A = this chain, B = another copy of it.
C-alpha cells in the first residue's frame, strides 16, 4: 500500500502547491496546530484547512485533535515513498548511462 499509484498521485498532487510545501516545510521542524500553520500564509484559515485536508488525504501529514486544537505532524514514510519514486527513475537513467559508457569504452578498445 506504500507504493500504491493512487496514493503516489495524491502525494505529488499535494506537493505541487507552494502553500502546501510551505506547510510541510514548517512541519518538518516539528508538529504544529492549524493556526500555527496558517500564521505565515497570506490566506484565510479556511483555505489552510482545505490545504491541510489535501495533505492528510495524501498521507503526507497526520493530524490528531485534542480539545479544540488539531495537531499536525509529518508522516515520514509517505515522504519516503515519494522520494523513492523519483530516486528509482533517476537511478535507472544513471545506470543506463553507465552501461552505455562501459559499452563505448569497450568498443573503443576493440578498434
Number of copies: 2
A40 interface contact, C-beta 8 A:
no
Nearest-Cβ distance from residue A105 to partner chain B, whole angstroms:
19
Stretch at the interface among A24-32, A41-49, A63-71: A24-32
Q: Are B74 and A28 within 8 A (Cβ)?
A: no
Mark contacts of A53-93 with chain B using CB atoms, 8 A cut-off: 1 yes-contact digit, 0 otherwise: 00000000000000000000010100110110111111011
Give the size category of A's interface with B: 20 to 34
Q: Is the interface of A mostly helix, strand, loop or mixed?
A: helix
The answer to whether A93 and B15 touch across the interface, beta carbons within 8 angstroms, is no
In the complex, whether A16 has a CB less than 8 A from a CB of chain B is yes
Q: How far is the CA of A92 from the CA of B30 in the complex (A)?
A: 9
Q: Are A16 and B15 in contact (CB under 8 A)?
A: yes
Please report A residues at the B interface, Cβ cutoff 8 Å. 5, 8-9, 12-13, 15-16, 18, 21, 24-25, 27-30, 74, 76, 79-80, 82-83, 85-90, 92-94, 96
